[in-house]
Chain A
Amino acid sequence: MTDSPPPGPSPSGPPETRWTRHPESLWRATGDTVVVLPGAGDDPTPLSISGSAARLWELLAQPVSLGELAAQLADAYGADAEVIAADLAPVLEDLRAAAAVERSP
């Protein structure tokens, strides 16, 4: 189990981390599959993401927190937001490592 922040905005404390597509990422979509060419890095290999990850890519069009992402996906798939947040955290980190998404701050 990966540690992850609880869903929802933090009313106090440091600014909440927000995630968005890397501005240099390129992508195409077909059905529930999104093919993404990450924005930087030495490996120009496209990533193919399907199912709920494709919905995740749609949501990442605008900066969004992990909690907001989890809440939206929980709505879409009828699952528990905390469970989704725990599953999403490593996915987002992997996408960031591939330079497909970025986070701020």
Chain B
Amino acid sequence: VTPVVTSPAPTYLAPVSQLTRRIAGYGLSPGKHGSQGGHGDPARGFPAEPLGGADWNALLARVTSQRIVGLLAWAVADGILPTTDDQAEEVHRAHVDAMGADLVRDRQLIDLVRLLGNAGLDHRALKGTAVAHLDYPDPALRSFVDVDLLVRAEEWDDAVTVITSAGWERRFLEPRRGFDRRFVKGTILFRPDDGRVELDLHRTLALGPFGLTVRLGDLWEGCDRLRLGGVELRALQAEPRYLHACFHAVLGDVPPRLVPLRDLAQMSAAGQVDFDRVVDLARSWQAGSVLRHAIQLAWDILGLDPSAEAPTRVKSLQPAAREARALDAYTSPRRSYVGLCLATVAAIRGPGDKVRYLTALAFPARHFVAPRYRSPAARWQAAARALRAGRGGRRSRG
């Protein structure tokens, strides 16, 4: 959305994008580690009068697409963001819709956990439901669009079989048998009879090189528990959950979404995260660059107190050059699937697995190519274009 300035004499001149960021950072209270929030005045950066129609529509559209309607509703209820009666009603309706959709996803997660449990398979609930219930003061503040579930790598094939037997379908099949279990972040599944919910079934926490350097055993050491709809759900412990929010913030969408940045600030403010353990995990996962970049982004974009513990702690991190290169594969404007695949090769241990990875991608089974490309030739052309773009970028930097 392009920032809108009404004319003549707008009551609120700051771009809508800045106000959206203020909403994303709204209500962060001081934790035991000191102030994590803004600079003392919760009304800083908010307009004194209700926005005009064009600004308001742009704000509501942006807030909805960023999935922070709950935070907007909170700011409106507190009177920090003045609204007309109609605007307040619009926010309320949008929030009720978002909460209803979140509940449907909660229910799907519960059903899936029950399904896996009945088959003797373990799980960790990731992101949406887990973070909403464990890290926010009220789950109504945290919306999400899909169901995220982690299963053990050694149980991957069994989990996929159980879930597909229950009516879910994979969006894409694996390029070669056994590829997913070794190399991928996970797979997307959906229910043909109900297009409302998508399942992101994870084996690790990110696609590409950082997904491969996560020590998967750390994800299964203990868990945080929550009880929902009569079923016990297991989530990652606070520190791996924090690092996963870092991954989500900087290895996912470009530009980053506001929700994972808020998650980081929220977890930091809650004071339940042991930063020594977070740093230790980041080092052992070779993800110090991700941790530092994610916190810097969260604090910059949400306008948080730079003297808080999280940004102070990560300043001293000195990630290795290979971590910086790996991060560049995700955050560069030249980011591409092929570029990430090449960066992944560098992170794969052992020549045998490197060959297996490259062979599967270079010569995938027909069922892998068909849904993605018009023909095998189109696939090679796309790869060649991505490689040329990557080489051109490197040359121009040099």
Using a CB–CB distance below 8 Å, which chain A residues touch chain B? 23-31, 33, 35-37, 39, 44, 46, 48
Contact = CB atoms under 8 A, between A and B. Distances in A.
Contacts of B140: 28-30
B102 interface: yes
Interface of B: 70, 73, 77, 92, 95-96, 99-100, 102-104, 106-107, 110, 138-140, 228-230
Given A31-B77, A37-B104, A37-B106, A24 B92 contact: no
Which of A24, A26, A29: most chain B CB closer than 10 A?
A26
- Per DSSP, chain A at the interface is strand
Given A26-B107, A31-B92, A39-B229, 8 more contacts: A28-B102, A29-B138, A30-B96, A30-B99, A30-B140, A33-B96, A44-B104, A46-B100
A28 B99 contact: yes
A23 B230 contact: yes
Which of A24, A30, A33, A44: most chain B CB closer than 10 A?
A30
Contacts of B77: 30-31
B193 to A, nearest CB: 12
A39 B111 CA distance: 11
Contacts of B100: 35, 37, 46, 48
Given A37-B103, A46-B103, A26 B228 contact: yes
Given A35-B100, A46-B100, A48-B100, A26 B106 contact: yes
A36 B104 CA distance: 10
Contact of B103 (A28, A30, A33): A28
A81 to B, nearest CB: 30
B73 A30 contact: yes
Contacts of A46: 99-100, 103-104
A29 B98 CA distance: 11
22 contacts: A23-B229, A24-B229, A26-B106, A26-B107, A26-B228, A28-B99, A28-B139, A29-B140, A30-B73, A30-B77, A30-B95, A31-B77, A31-B92, A33-B92, A35-B99, A35-B103, A36-B103, A44-B104, A46-B100, A46-B103, A46-B104, A48-B96
Nearest 9 interchain pairs by C-beta = A46-B100, A37-B103, A28-B99, A23-B230, A28-B140, A35-B99, A24-B229, A26-B103, A24-B230
Which of B70, B95, B102, B229: most chain A CB closer than 10 A?
B229
A37 B107 contact: yes
Contacts of B96: 30, 33, 35, 48
A11 B229 CA distance: 34
A30 B99 CA distance: 9
Contacts of B95: 30
Contacts of B70: 30
Nearest to B106: A26
A46 B140 CA distance: 14
A103 B40 CA distance: 49
A25 B99 contact: no
Contacts of A37: 100, 103-104, 106-107
Nearest to A27: B103
A48 B97 CA distance: 9
A37 B100 CA distance: 7
A44 B197 CA distance: 12
A37 B109 CA distance: 13
Contacts of B230: 23-24, 39
